[in-house]
Structure 1
């Protein structure tokens, strides 16, 4: 059973390339501790690479770069970002993560001219805007 679950996890990662720990737990109906043990074993055997908060496969040549991911579904990301703008009030604070969809929102903020808006981010691309 353990080996079957680990194989399923390896297959999931092969298909998805990256999965956060939370998604691994949900998809396999396992605890975070079990997921971590399985990830450690898969990493030990060289099948995956662990990351902070998740795991991925074939990082060096198959994981798409930020620029590649930014180009995927860019129209949908921009549309979603435009839907967020009306919900940002004057003087509010917005936290923008490092993904490409939040980046689409960050691109729109200067033209939105929201008085007193504070932006907090851990994303270098957002900081560089």
Structure 2
């Protein structure tokens, strides 16, 4: 992730200050005020020092903000992954419940079929016994 830092802005101000210092020195030399040149150099150096400190603090703040943003993104990603894992677990439990219900329904259907078959078999056995009893009584 690229982070734009205000260091480039500080360099632009420094360059502009150097140009202003040079032009002011030329004007001061033309006016014959050599003491003014010394004052300009001191003002430029102090301004440069302040500008560098401000730029470093701004860079540190930008880097700290980037770290905070990165940590927030990681926390959000972990939360999304955890939510997805929970959803998958809920879906797995639901699938197991559906499979258990289907198995129970199949077992009930098989038991009902077996009971119907048993009842039919008993009816057939009784019918056979009745026919045999009628056949014996008819003899």
TM-score by length of 2: 0.18
Higher strand share: 1
TM-score by length of 1: 0.19
